Copies of this chain bind each other. A is one copy, B any other.
Amino acid sequence: MKNIYNIGLIGFGTIGAGVVETFNRNLDLMEQKVGTKIRLKKVVDLDIKTDRGVEVDKNILSTDVNDILDDPEIDIVIELIGGYEPAKSFILKAMENKKHVVTANKALLAKHWEEILETANKNHVRICFEASVGGGIPLLGPLNESLGANNIQSIYGIINGTANYILTKMTDEGLDFEYVLREAQEKGYAEQDPTFDIEGHDTAQKLIILTILGFGIYVKQDKFHVEGISKIKQEDIEFIKNEMGYSIKLLAISKIEGEKLEVRVHPTLISQDHLLASVNDVFNGVYLVGDIVGPVMMYGQGAGMMPTASAVVGDCLDIMGNTERKNIYGPNNTEVKKIKDIEDINSKYYLRLNVIDKPGVLHTISGILSNYDISIESVSQKKKDEGQEVPIFMVTHEALEKNIRKSLKEIANLDFVKKDTLFIRVL
């Protein structure tokens, strides 16, 4: 047993400052838990001038990453610069220099998982990344450890705080997408270019990591369906909330269906009785089902300086508690042979069609749906305004997505149907 662990931190931005602050506040507690001294030996960033709002010994600051990577005393490297390069090179070199690595870099893990894992294993070091999904929520640890006796059946995650904030605001306050997005940008909940969050890419990267942990399967992002929330209008929210009693969430789904795995990211209607419907604002929640444990949900702050730092430092403690532990993430005895094409899934669907109101519209539409084996659970056309554009809301019974798409294509060709038909899957 060592008597001190030295840590090097690469990246002194928001999360990095949170990590420093966590060591400042709770070092005693942590040293007592691990039973050794813990020292944050070096903090590296290109910018070491800017005041980060946390106390830090100036002597441990450096702009040279090799002060960490080449220091034989440093046991654990925390990578918090994000992005692909130079983060990847730093991580690989740290591992080659026999250092354990802790990272929150979901983009990098999602893209280069195999190379990173292989390098870690070849060098007999650990790679930990609890902070990469769900911020501070204990998620990957429990999935990999406490639930280790389970074959995971399904994972449903609300794992993007920005999208969830926007949908919550639209639901609670009856506001439009664009308005809420602007407000979120002003509050710092959304980036100036919000594409990454609202179009589901961030959620997809996190889902790739959850899918590795849950099913032992590494799926690249171009291999599954990813759809964002930008097409959702206030009229959809109103109908879904008031007429259906559902909530709408940007959901990451990964679940076994026979020999195939469904992996998908899209807005999803969730019954208000379901616990996931109560995951609001910037909070994250991951609901999963194990074959032994049944349903389990973990909830908390999925982002932010201190919650993310909690997970990063938790990983450091985990490594100190067991440097020998193998990097076993997910089962490799899976029965799953393939990723299911989105066109082959079955689901209930919510449809919103914008049509020019005239007699026979509904009859024609329902005829087409019926030709594709799609039966209608409910239909509602509240506004009656002949010759004008009005929305029709429909909920289908379970149907094959391929059929939904084909029928909507056919419906889109009708002269009284406007372009922006929307369909949303129902959980």
Residues of A participating in the B interface, judged by any CB pair closer than 8 Å: 18, 22, 25-26, 28-30, 32-33, 35, 130, 136-138, 141-142, 145-151, 275, 278-279, 290-301, 304, 306-307, 309-311, 313-314, 316-318, 321-322, 325-326, 328, 331-333
Q: A29-B151, A294-B307 are in contact. List 14 more A-B contacts (CB 8 A).
A: A18-B292, A26-B149, A32-B332, A32-B333, A35-B328, A138-B146, A146-B314, A147-B314, A148-B317, A149-B316, A275-B275, A275-B299, A292-B310, A322-B325
- In the complex, A299→B138 CA distance in Å? 12
Q: What chain B residues lie within 8 Å of A332 (beta carbons)? A: 32
Q: Do A333 and B35 touch across chains, with their CB atoms under 8 A apart?
A: no
- In the complex, A311→B279 CA distance in Å? 25
- Chain B's closest residue to A135 (CB) is B293
- In the complex, A158→B138 CA distance in Å? 19
- Chain B's closest residue to A287 (CB) is B299
- In the complex, A33→B30 CA distance in Å? 27
Chain copies in the assembled complex: 2
Q: What chain B residues lie within 8 Å of A301 (beta carbons)? A: 293-296
- In the complex, A318→B301 CA distance in Å? 26
Residue of B310, B316, B318, B331 near A29 (CB, 8 A) is: B331
The distance from the CB of A38 to the nearest CB of chain B, in whole angstroms, is: 10
- In the complex, A326→B32 CA distance in Å? 11
- In the complex, A301→B278 CA distance in Å? 18
- Chain B's closest residue to A321 (CB) is B325
Q: What chain B residues lie within 8 Å of A142 (beta carbons)? A: 138, 141-142, 146, 298
Q: What chain B residues lie within 8 Å of A30 (beta carbons)? A: 148-149
Q: Do A297 and B294 touch across chains, with their CB atoms under 8 A apart?
A: no
- In the complex, A321→B26 CA distance in Å? 27
Q: Jot down 5 A-B pairs with beta carbons below 8 A, ordered by A.
A: A30-B148, A148-B318, A292-B307, A296-B300, A322-B322
- In the complex, A321→B148 CA distance in Å? 11
Q: What chain B residues lie within 8 Å of A297 (beta carbons)? A: 297-300
Q: Do A25 and B310 touch across chains, with their CB atoms under 8 A apart?
A: no
Q: Do A29 and B130 touch across chains, with their CB atoms under 8 A apart?
A: no
Q: Do B137 and A296 touch across chains, with their CB atoms under 8 A apart?
A: yes
Q: What chain B residues lie within 8 Å of A293 (beta carbons)? A: 136-137, 300-301, 306-307, 310-311
Q: What chain B residues lie within 8 Å of A29 (beta carbons)? A: 149, 151, 331, 333
- Chain B's closest residue to A29 (CB) is B331
Q: What chain B residues lie within 8 Å of A304 (beta carbons)? A: 294
- Chain B's closest residue to A21 (CB) is B292
Q: What chain B residues lie within 8 Å of A279 (beta carbons)? A: 275
Q: Do B149 and A317 touch across chains, with their CB atoms under 8 A apart?
A: yes
- In the complex, A322→B322 CA distance in Å? 7
- In the complex, A322→B35 CA distance in Å? 15
Q: Do A149 and B310 touch across chains, with their CB atoms under 8 A apart?
A: yes
Q: What chain B residues lie within 8 Å of A294 (beta carbons)? A: 136, 300-301, 304, 306-307
Q: What chain B residues lie within 8 Å of A275 (beta carbons)? A: 275, 278-279, 299
Most buried by B among A30, A145, A275, A318: A145
Q: What chain B residues lie within 8 Å of A317 (beta carbons)? A: 145, 148-149
Q: Do B292 and A136 touch across chains, with their CB atoms under 8 A apart?
A: yes
Q: What chain B residues lie within 8 Å of A32 (beta carbons)? A: 328, 331-333
Residue of B26, B147, B321 near A138 (CB, 8 A) is: B147
- Chain B's closest residue to A317 (CB) is B148
The distance from the CB of A264 to the nearest CB of chain B, in whole angstroms, is: 23
User: Provided the pairs A35-B328, A296-B300, A299-B275 are in contact, do residues A291 and B148 lie with their beta carbons within 8 angstroms?
Assistant: no
The 10 closest A-B pairs by CB, nearest first: A138-B146, A138-B142, A149-B313, A136-B293, A293-B310, A296-B300, A297-B299, A292-B310, A148-B317, A141-B146
Q: Do B314 and A26 touch across chains, with their CB atoms under 8 A apart?
A: no
